[in-house]
Amino acid sequence: MRVIAGKVKGHRLKYVSNTRLRPTSDIIKGAIFSCLDSMELDYARVLDLYAGTGALGIEALSRGADWVDFVERDPKACEIIKDNLVHTKLSEQAHIYRSTVKKTLSFLKGKYMLILMDPPYADTTTSDILQILADSPIVGEGSVIVAEHADKKPLQSVYGCFEQIKNLNHGDTNVSIYQYTAGGQS
């Protein structure tokens, strides 16, 4: 597992062998960021939910994000994220919340332009978290959510003001990309 592009391109990232953690493959990560790059997205503030090793958020930092907040409940995974940030010299542009996603979303402030979600495939709350995000003040016009999920667990095409604009598929992995639209459902 490595950083694919940007200022720390090629850096290998640590990961923990754990059945709960399923790091995003370089192929999927490349497809996600290729799609995001084509959208000319503002990477100012990024939120990496279910961060695992931090690979998605670190990729965003490498590609020009100003700041990434990582949310991960597993203490060992949080240590891996910290090590990966130090190794890539990006720790000054990030904060790690060792907490559940739902709890962290209840106190975050400010707007995020990009939200990355890679929950465990067995997680049954992905749709609930997407709805919480849709109703949250931390998103706004132009915000994008990238939600990785199992092919066998499709997500809705609309969550509040977020409409699905792209669906990527590779093997048993699906990636749904949503964009905030002012005219969306509430």
Reading the chain (186 residues) residue by residue, the pLDDT tens digits are 889 999 999 899 988 766 555 667 778 888 899 999 998 888 899 999 999 999 999 999 999 999 999 999 999 999 999 999 999 999 999 999 999 999 999 999 999 999 999 998 888 899 999 999 999 999 999 999 999 998 788 899 999 999 999 999 888 889 999 999 976 554
The pLDDT value recorded for residue 21 is 58
Residue 20 lies in a domain: no
Number of compact structural domains in the chain: 1
Query: 34 has which bridge partners?
Result: none
Structural domain boundaries, residue 125 = 26-180
The pLDDT value recorded for residue 84 is 97
Residue 13 lies in a domain: no
pTM over 0.85: yes
CATH number, domain of 148, equals: 3.40.50.150
Residue 18 lies in a domain: no
Residue 87 lies in a domain: yes
How far lies 181's CA from each of 59, 74, 110, 162, in Å? 25, 33, 18, 6
The pLDDT value recorded for residue 22 is 61
Residue 46 lies in a domain: yes
Taking alpha carbons only, the member of 118, 173, 130, 120 closest to residue 150 is: 173
Residue 6 lies in a domain: no
Taking alpha carbons only, the member of 75, 58, 76 closest to residue 67 is: 58
